[in-house]
Amino acid sequence: MMVSPTTEPEAEQRPHRRRGGRSDDQEGGLSFPLKLHAMLDDAHSKDFTDVVAWQKGDKSFRVNDVNRFGSEIMPRYFNQTKFKSFQRQLNIYGFRRIQHGPLKGGYVHKSFIRGRPELSTGVTRRRNNATMAQKVIEMVQNASAVGGTQSEVAANLESMMAEADDEPIRNIAASVDFGSCNLQGVLERIFQAEETDELAG
């Protein structure tokens, strides 16, 4: 099946360009979050949801066929073929992978919702100077955006923290018994750590 990206609207705002004329994502064209929206909209309108698709609830998406996604979809929408590079971009923009519940394997960001591309202004590159606490709060928001039972939200938060790039966040994840406490208990532990500078950035 041949897949072609959605034509860019004339009025679409261009991403910020760096010195030398390069944009934050690619040279010209849509920003990475808007390319994601266009790709997922096309997946449903052009019938390649067996490769990548929005998940139930329209707040997360999943790559269903990594091989075809890399060979057929990525070159047309992202000018690359390596899935690890795509995952790295998702991580840079604050997307988190869902590890628990019926949406397991999907990617979520609190400001990435089907039919609401205007919210993509909230999907930005992670700031290098963001404090650890700010990063954890973002993880809490993403885990909550997935929905599900309270235990599933807590389990997804645990996974997101355990896979964080920052060792202090991983240490907090290791010290919290996510299985026996509710989400409120997890949050209390996180903010207690912040007050004692355990998550100071």
DSSP letters spanning the chain? ----PPPPPTTPPPPPB-TTS-BSSSSSS--HHHHHHHHHHHHHHTT-TTTEEEPTTSSEEEES-HHHIIIIIHHHHTS---HHHHHHHHHHTT-EE--SSTTTT-EE-TT--TT-GGGGGG--PPPTT--HHHHHHHHHHHHHHH-S-HHHHHHHHHHHHHT-SSHHHHHHHHHS-TTTS-HHHHHHHHHHHHHTTTT--
pLDDT score at 120: 86
Q: pLDDT digit string (tens) for 58-113?
A: 999 999 999 999 999 999 999 989 999 999 899 889 898 998 889 999 999 999 99
Q: pLDDT digit string (tens) for 124-133?
A: 887 655 566 6
pTM greater than 0.75 (yes/no): no
